[in-house]
Structure 1
Amino acid sequence: MIKRIGFALLGIAVCIAAGSPVSAQKRTVQPKQSAPVIAGKPIPNDPDVKTGKLPNGLTYYIRKNTEPKKRAELYLANRIGSLMENDDQQGLAHFTEHMAFNGTRDFPKNDIINYLQKAGVRFGADLNAYTGFDQTVYQLPIPTDSTEVFKTGFKILSNWAGRMTMDGEEIDRERGVIIEEDRQRGKNSQERISKQLLPVLLKDSRYATRIPIGKVDLLRTFTHDKIKNFYADWYRPDLQAVIAVGDFDVNEVEKLIIANFSDLKNPVKEKERIKYTLPDNKEPLVKIITDPEQQYNVAFAIYKHPASVTKTTADLRKNLMYNMINTMIAARFQEILQKGNAPFLFAQSTYEPFQGGMVAGMNAFQTVVAAKSGKDLETAITAAVAETERVAKYGFVQSELDVTKRNAEAGNEKKLREKDKTASSAFVQQYLGNFLTGSPMGSIDFSYAEMKRNLASITLAQVNALAKTLITPNNQILLIQAPEKEKANLPTPAALLAAFNNAGKNITPYIDDAVNKPLLAQIPTAGKVTAEKKFEDIGVTEWTLSNGIKVLLKPTDFKNDQIIFSSFGKGGTSLADRNDYQSADFSGIIPQSGVGDFNPSQLNKLLAGNTGRAGSYIDELYQGFTGSSSPKDMETAFKMVYAYATNPRKDTEIYNKNISDFKVSLENKDADPASVFADTVQAVLSSYNKRNMPTTMADLDKLSLDKAFAFYKDRFADLGEQNFVFVGNFDLATIKPLVETYIASLPALNKKQDFADIGANPPKGIVSKTVYKGLEDKASVQLYLHGDYDFTAGNNVQLEAVKSALENKILERLREKESGVYSPSVGLNVGKYPNAHYFFTISFSCATANVEKLIAAALDEVKNIKTNGATADDISKFKSEEHRQMELSLRNNGYWLGYLSNRLKYGDDLNLVLTSKQRVDAVSVESSKATARKYLDENNYIRLVLMPKK
């Protein structure tokens, strides 16, 4: 795959566009200031990572780490990407990455994928790769408890590094796959805007002409020698690194690297690897872009900054201050966004790597703002930029910095406490950064001590001095992206410049609105644990409380500093009045409004430095609570549960802002083909049930905050049938008084509650619907095979086996054989309530001309499995993957939280997990055939297709 270019902000799809310079108006800019220069010392490398270099120049990083146990992360990093391509090779760096999975010296054709799947490594989810402008990275998580498989992992890396076969037939077959990757990820408004954006945003640089996906015409026609030459020139040891982190012997791994990579050779005539960057621009670059399918009016103000690699303790200190600035500006925007009269839909300012780090040596201070309409955009821009000008002119206040420091301190302490439970993947990313960019490899202990020292010594004056340097008089880029229908309402380039230039006028200092009150006015009267039951085989204790609530507790040592919990009780929005359900469906606005006397931003300030968090929810069938905490802050999470249950907040301003924003999104929703198609899918799958139809303007007109608040209070008035599950690093004696004080005291009326069936069931029989929306040659296909279902653990596993086999066959047929898709997917969804039902889903995107052919091919594979069952190979892969994933799951708090909650919801035996291996082992070719015949029911078949406008 390729590293993507673009942004997604709170559901607003955003990409950036720039154009030719225009005349700059005079702008008042703060005199450029520099933050105080503090001498730093070099950051020492972590002594627990072993590094080295082979005689041929290949670098290696090796570290022993036992999280997760019996696993290793193996990476092959290459300091090459699309920037190294010749004009006639554009797209071939990425193409080369694809060819790594299509045949090497020791693994012909797809043997690498087949071998690893049989070892329990999943293609895509585990085994993967990506290509960027100046890097290509291959990742291989692999088990270490099989010596043969583990050793083979290094052979696979070395085959990628220098032993790809580049078979001509395989190259030609892969052309269609990559073209379909371009179609799947693009052929939309974002791509069209990007084509106007990138040549100018990256103006006068190599980046502008080396977008990693390349040129489709060239991908179709290049001769085989072009990609073979690219591979021979650039896949060479002096530009490569092997990274190995995991549960293994370091010295043995070093021997494996030496044995597998020492014979790789560099070219006789090595091509120079040139470093590229972006030129400065003295005058602002201004560009206004519209597109028929763009949904929102969005503006950007970007200030480019040269960046250097973090090398010293002074660099660490400066980076921390930048992070503090980002955090404090974000908090200010949150305060504005929760007001009913907020001048924008969304706003954000951050100092970060330019365009997500795609350009080496370049950072940017960027403000992005979304407005309700083109007419409002100038006001929104002015308001958003005014906030950054407020920071530049007046700085932050001490209370803001104190909050930020307390949160940073909490995160720093948590990282240290989790030191021995750090995932191998985290270390890999650190070493990957060191090889690719030269970033540091400091130890956790060193990083902890430096941050602790810096948090104690950084002053408000120092942070404010650094903040003043973010807005610069040059290297400015000003952009607008908007719906085409708004074209006449948008500001002109001159007006846009004027809005930015005048944004700082008449601003006043920031005033903190923190509330100095306790979260709870008084501690509730405690209840009692009245009964206890042990499930020794799975380490679970069940408590029954005096108010009727049931609590399951599973203490673990999987994480040192994590406790997570959730609860549920039957009911949810299914119990709303059939003629007045809209307000109930919108009752989620209540917990989003804060709690008690605290709006969301005030609550964040109150809880600064405290990791205890909890919230409430209402979905269609259940209502309850979720939360997490470090052991030391657990009481705060419990207090929040009690507060959300007994003292919810009704905030008219937040409600009005949400309704106003929702209306804007609905007004522009029909412009986006994917949104229109998603609405159609939702409507068809619910048989056009009015309770499950997409929200409309008419629905919003029926909403009432008072009714939403009343429904919320009703759902949490009787919590006697709640079921809580706690998982993590706690002991029963410590958590018991908290449970008795804050959970056993929750209100209970001793009523029997249940959810209702709202009748939103999928249609029976054969249904076909095609939506015609969009401008590009791109189709999206979703096929559903579904039906009623006997929901049991055994049946669920058999369905999963069929799904896994069908996924393999669909991938082989549609991608490898037909070369018609990039990443087809097969999904399985099974549910027990309100009616047990299952869905198999086959989905893919493709060229419009190939829709019928590929649907027929997909259904042909369905028929093959019904006739013959899954192959023995597919069954073997399924079993290996399931067993390997279960090994990881059993040491994961999140898995146990979900598992125990579901057993309670479904009325299952809590010990069901103990027999999971037997259920997986019971899968066979014959059982898969019987399951496929029963459940791949073509009599209940829904075909949904999105096609471009006729």
Structure 2
Amino acid sequence: MTTFQQTVYMLDLPETDKETVDTALFLLREVAGEASFTPSAIESERGIVLSEERTRATPQLRNAEDELGYLLKGDVLPTRLPIGSTDVLKTAPRERFVKFYDAYYRPERATLIAVGDFDVDEMEAKIRSQFGTWKGRGKAGPELPAAKIASRAAETHVFSEAGIPNRVALSWVTAPDLRPDTSAVRSEKLVEQLGLQILNRRLSRIASGENPPFIGAGTGRQDQAERAEITQVVAVAQPGKWQPALASIEQEQRRAVQFGFSQAELDREIAEIRARLVAAVAGAATRPTPALAQALVGNVDEDEVFTTPTDDLALFDQVVKGLTAEKVSAATRSLFTAGGPLVYLTSPTPVEGGEATLLSAYQASHSAAVAAGAVQQAQNWPYQSFGTPGAVAERRELAALGATAIRFANGVRLTVKPTKFRTDEILVSARSLGGQALVPADRPSPVWALSSGAFTLGGLGKMSFEDVQQALTSKVYAANFGVDEDAFVLSGKTRPEDLATQLQLLTAFAADPGFAPTGWERLRALSGTIHDQLASTPGGVLGRDAGALLHAGDRRWAMPTREEMAASTVADAKALLAGPLKTGPIEIVMVGDISVDEAVRQVAATFGALPARQDAALPAAALKTAFPAGTLVRETHQGRADQGLAMIAWPTTDFYADMKQARALNLLGQVLQLRLIDEIREKQGTTYSPNAGHSPSETFKGYGYMAAQIEAPPEKLDGFLADAAKIAADLRDTPIGADELQRAKKPLVENLMRQRLGNEWWLSQLADVQTRPEVGASIEQAQAQYEALTAADLQAVARRYLVDAKAWKLEILPEKK
């Protein structure tokens, strides 16, 4: 991974035995100082990196590059994007790579980080042995000259391109803060953070009001690669309505500067941040190893001291003790005094008058007087009781899974798995029967908006989404909504002391959803932008159309057109969800730091207290879908002429038809991926990242597919489809070797073993375990089935399913202009 300031090589080791650790350290040492840069390797990598550049060349990236160049005018940073210059990538000779490597890949610039279950003294000795002889070659490269950030008066800039949203930003750019990371500096930044968070809260409430001037808005401050500090207030406007969005954020920012904040606003932010810090302290001992490693990498990158959650909480408590709104207001005011602002507007269509029109709009807003705003008072949380707690009708142990299954008298089911994977963490999901299967096929699907937050943003019957957040300020909770194949899923993450609140919130969303149009209208206003974005790249076109294409035109998976999105209303969502949420079967899955008895008690008081649920099943007709017949489909995108995408897919079957066969297909997908990497990436240098894998349905009988795809220049697509078909033929005709089988199987099994040590995996796997016996059997048998698979098993499924005549192919080519 390469950023503006560093390149990171990271190995996530499945074991810490001597051979694995020694090999890892050897590989890192080779990368650090022994790279040979053979001409053949350079030529191969040119194509790969150029492919990465093509894939990332989107309107959003071009927008980001333009804005960075505007804000850091005259600085070198905007010309040093990590991907590099395509001219350099295409033409740089070997000597240039070697010169850069010798100048900057040096021991005095390197930091080696090791996190995991090992003996510290032994690891230090290994590192000293491997890296102690490393010496830099030649002269060290120079550092960049210091940034020169000039004070600028108010300026304006407009960037327009199809596929980007109408967005307006006010920015204040100052010299970078290069002071050492001390507790005094952190204390200062904490106070600033609190002020910006209050301003964020005000903007969020405006966005949730009646006829808001913008779709969403926010503020923040960031260090830009030690070249500048940038404070921004940003709003995404409804298409063509950027003027009221600009006026609103400009005046809200001035209101904060002129009148400051109230103590009640400050106290709310303190309570919310402190709740998160307390939760982090409780879970500190069980933080995942990769997360710790990433945190250390971030500290090195930012020249920061690594601190523990306990340190962070102690500093926070010290800072906020006796902290007044006046002090926070003054600190926030100082962020907006460095000249400017620099006003930046993005638009999917040209803005008449350009910068002059934008400047005029800013000046008109800035000349308007502002008054102190009213402070919103927090409401009491009204969903603390749902009636008499439900009685347990059945309880049984799922001993092999370490879980307990409970059925309440009202039909609600609860599956609990206590774990110690993460201290003080509890994950909860509430699944209502329905999902993709119940989406109507005779009209546009509302799933596009429901899966993007429209349901939860609609709030509850007794309070808006914003009021929910304010009422639950000191709690740790979440409210997410998703659509699975067979269920509508409410989910959250909490800690033991807030479990009651978490369940009350999810129950309220199931029993009394608000269906306020707020969130829906935000997304509906972006319908044109969404479609423009998707049409601007081949990957976007695939994301837009693949659902319907891979289900033979079944409209349940089709994304609505821009016109259908624009005509949609929250009533579409209500028609789909109201019945399943109110009367349908509900299954609760709870995993984490919780006892079974406490889980039962809390669910009895919430979901268990609801009216009786119907013991229904999905209609047989809803469980039917089909894979398309073998053919070649061609579509177009509106992006660069050198961008294209190809996909090939073969129909297979569902997961539970034969679990061993499904896992053989999963492993075959890994083999296909390895061969594509070897052929398409390493030998041909055609693409950065060819993808392959098996996708079996767990709901729709007989449905699944094996697919492979690449993004590459249009002239390479036919060759990829031919190469993929050739690889499929070889997998059918020739058993794979023992080494290749192990290369595919070992990481798959190791990943499964790692996943089983996480709450997230168990939350997803335990769904339907009470009503489908095959679910429990699948969890129990997974590892053993993968380990037992042979080359003959893989050849058998390849012969059965990788049939040339059934292969469905897709090419997405640039639109002719």
Tell me the distance in 1 between the aligned counterparts of 2:446 and 2:651. 31
Residue 668 (structure 1) shift: 7.8
Matched residue SS, 1:296 = coil
Matched residue SS, 1:875 = helix
Contact 1:614 1:641 in 2 (8 A): yes
Tell me the distance in 1 between the aligned counterparts of 2:294 and 2:440. 51
Aligned to 2:434: 571
Does 1:494 pair with 2:353? no
Residue 417 (structure 1) shift: 0.8
Matched residue SS, 2:414 = strand
Tell me the distance in 2 between the aligned counterparts of 1:909 and 1:590. 29
Please show how residues 630-779 of structure 1 align to structure 2 within 5 Å: 630-662=495-527, 665=530, 674-696=539-561, 699-700=564-565, 703=568, 705-706=570-571, 708-709=573-574, 711-719=576-584, 721-755=585-619, 757-758=621-622, 760-771=625-636, 773-779=638-644
Change (3 A) 1:843 1:577: closer
Residue 139 (structure 1) shift: 0.8
Change (3 A) 1:693 1:645: closer
Please show how residues 863-902 of structure 1 align to structure 2 within 5 Å: 863-901=729-767
Tell me the distance in 1 between the aligned counterparts of 2:104 and 2:572. 65
Residue 774 (structure 1) shift: 3.0
Aligned to 2:203: 333
Residue 900 (structure 1) shift: 1.0
Change (3 A) 1:495 1:165: same
Match of 2:132 among 249, 262, 274: 262
Matched residue SS, 2:680 = helix
Superposed CA RMSD in Å reads 2.8
Tell me the distance in 2 between the aligned counterparts of 1:771 and 1:433. 40
Deviations 1:432-459 (A, max 9, x none): 3444442112343322211122233322
Contact 2:681 2:687 in 1 (8 A): yes
Contact 1:395 1:464 in 2 (8 A): yes
Tell me the distance in 2 between the aligned counterparts of 1:577 and 1:856. 38
Aligned to 2:41: 170
Please show how residues 758-907 of structure 1 align to structure 2 within 5 Å: 758=622, 760-771=625-636, 773-789=638-654, 791-901=657-767, 903-904=769-770, 906-907=772-773
Deviations 1:43-62 (A, max 9, x none): xxxxxxxxxxxxxxxxxxxx
Residue 798 (structure 1) shift: 0.4
Please identify, of 213-222 and 547-556, the stretch whose mean Cα deviation from structure 2 is larger.
Answer: 213-222
Deviations 1:843-891 (A, max 9, x none): 1111122222222222222222122133322211233213322332222
Aligned to 1:552: 415
Please identify, of 809-818 and 729-738, the stretch whose mean Cα deviation from structure 2 is larger.
Answer: 729-738
Change (3 A) 1:211 1:637: closer
Please show how residues 4-83 of structure 1 align to structure 2 within 5 Å: none
Aligned to 1:447: 312
Matched residue SS, 2:795 = helix
Please show how residues 334-413 of structure 1 align to structure 2 within 5 Å: 334-354=204-224, 359-374=225-240, 376-413=241-278
Tell me the distance in 1 between the aligned counterparts of 2:675 and 2:608. 52
Matched residue SS, 1:891 = coil
Contact 1:299 1:381 in 2 (8 A): yes
Match of 1:417 among 264, 282, 288: 282
Change (3 A) 1:657 1:215: closer
Runs of at least 5 residues in structure 1 that lack an aligned partner in the other structure: 1-129
Letter of the structure 2 residue corresponding to residue 774 of structure 1: G
Letter of the structure 1 residue corresponding to residue 695 of structure 2: N
Matched residue SS, 1:182 = helix
Matched residue SS, 1:709 = helix
Change (3 A) 1:768 1:869: farther
Deviations 1:766-803 (A, max 9, x none): 24223253343111222222244463321221011100
Tell me the distance in 2 between the aligned counterparts of 1:820 and 1:772. 20
Matched residue SS, 1:212 = coil
Letter of the structure 2 residue corresponding to residue 740 of structure 1: A
Letter of the structure 2 residue corresponding to residue 927 of structure 1: D
Does 1:480 pair with 2:345? yes
Residue 314 (structure 1) shift: 1.8
Change (3 A) 1:836 1:390: farther
Residue 332 (structure 1) shift: 1.8
What TM-score comes out, normalization by structure 2 length? 0.92
What TM-score comes out, normalization by structure 1 length? 0.80
Letter of the structure 2 residue corresponding to residue 825 of structure 1: N
Letter of the structure 2 residue corresponding to residue 387 of structure 1: E
Tell me the distance in 1 between the aligned counterparts of 2:39 and 2:792. 39
Tell me the distance in 2 between the aligned counterparts of 1:729 and 1:521. 22
Change (3 A) 1:548 1:134: closer
Aligned to 1:142: 13
Does 1:240 pair with 2:101? no
Change (3 A) 1:779 1:545: same
Residue 748 (structure 1) shift: 1.5
Tell me the distance in 2 between the aligned counterparts of 1:806 and 1:658. 38
Matched residue SS, 1:140 = coil
Contact 2:164 2:529 in 1 (8 A): no
Count of paired positions: 810
Tell me the distance in 1 between the aligned counterparts of 2:227 and 2:85. 26
Matched residue SS, 1:141 = coil
Change (3 A) 1:565 1:409: same
Does 1:152 pair with 2:23? yes
The answer to which structure has the higher helix fraction is 2
Tell me the distance in 1 between the aligned counterparts of 2:411 and 2:212. 44
Tell me the distance in 2 between the aligned counterparts of 1:513 and 1:604. 12
Change (3 A) 1:658 1:512: farther
Deviations 1:660-680 (A, max 9, x none): 444664588656665445433
Matched residue SS, 1:166 = coil
Tell me the distance in 2 between the aligned counterparts of 1:815 and 1:701. 41
Aligned to 2:152: 282
Tell me the distance in 1 between the aligned counterparts of 2:142 and 2:613. 77
Residue 134 (structure 1) shift: 2.9
Does 1:224 pair with 2:90? no
Residue 724 (structure 1) shift: 1.6
Tell me the distance in 1 between the aligned counterparts of 2:265 and 2:697. 46
Change (3 A) 1:310 1:596: farther
Matched residue SS, 1:770 = strand
Residue 394 (structure 1) shift: 1.5
Deviations 1:646-666 (A, max 9, x none): 222142555545544446645
Aligned to 1:297: 166
Letter of the structure 1 residue corresponding to residue 147 of structure 2: T
Residue 303 (structure 1) shift: 0.8
Runs of at least 5 residues in structure 2 that lack an aligned partner in the other structure: none
Change (3 A) 1:189 1:299: same
- Give the percent of matched residue pairs that are identical in Structure 1 and Structure 2: 21
Contact 2:425 2:493 in 1 (8 A): yes
Letter of the structure 2 residue corresponding to residue 541 of structure 1: T
Aligned to 1:928: 794
Residue 816 (structure 1) shift: 0.7
Letter of the structure 2 residue corresponding to residue 299 of structure 1: V
Letter of the structure 2 residue corresponding to residue 392 of structure 1: V
Matched residue SS, 1:723 = strand
Letter of the structure 2 residue corresponding to residue 736 of structure 1: V
Letter of the structure 2 residue corresponding to residue 826 of structure 1: A
Change (3 A) 1:875 1:518: same
Change (3 A) 1:590 1:216: closer
Tell me the distance in 1 between the aligned counterparts of 2:528 and 2:163. 16
Tell me the distance in 2 between the aligned counterparts of 1:249 and 1:220. 46
Aligned to 1:537: 400
Tell me the distance in 1 between the aligned counterparts of 2:440 and 2:60. 41
Matched residue SS, 2:113 = strand
Residue 548 (structure 1) shift: 2.1
Tell me the distance in 1 between the aligned counterparts of 2:150 and 2:403. 62
